[in-house]
Amino acid sequence: MSDGAPASVGSGDAAAPEGAVLLGGITADEVQPLQLYRATMPNGTALCVGVHEGRFFAVKDYCPHAEFPLSEGTLYANGELECCWHGARFACASGKVLRGPAESDLVRFEVFAVNGDLYVRRGTAPLQSGGAA
């Protein structure tokens, strides 16, 4: 598995995509493979952020089972995100629940790296592309 440096968009005059908001508490360069980070949207919503196979991902930072912060969990090399309280697992890029006790998928956001900053936008399309363009 190669989980190298995430792709970034823009060097100079790139702009954030329409509808995307700046993510506080983390920059693109700080995100390392197999690590999870807590970051905050301007409205105060906390997100769990990471990178997998060169693509950033972001999901709401609570487990749908009992609302434990996913940013305190584990990201595996296969892209599975595990909640460390009761062991639920999710696909980090799509947010799909893979193992209980959680029964709901995660709320996913698209992530864009622009000039070293991370921007997020609520993900709507089913994930194939998932993130940094």
Minimum separation from the CB atom of position 43 to ligand FES (A): 23
Minimum separation from the CB atom of position 63 to ligand FES (A): 3
CA angle 64, 121, 112 (to 5 degrees): 115
Do the beta carbons of residue 98 and residue 89 sit within 8 Å?
A: yes
Binding site for ligand FES (CB under 6 A): 63, 65-66, 68, 83, 85-88, 101-102
Q: Alpha carbon of 81 to those of 16, 111, 117: distances in Å?
A: 27, 17, 23
Of 82 and 110, CB closest to ligand FES:
82
Question: What count of Cα atoms within 13 Å lies in the side-chain half-sphere of residue 61?
Answer: 17
Of 10 and 101, CB closest to ligand FES:
101
Minimum separation from the CB atom of position 28 to ligand FES (A): 27
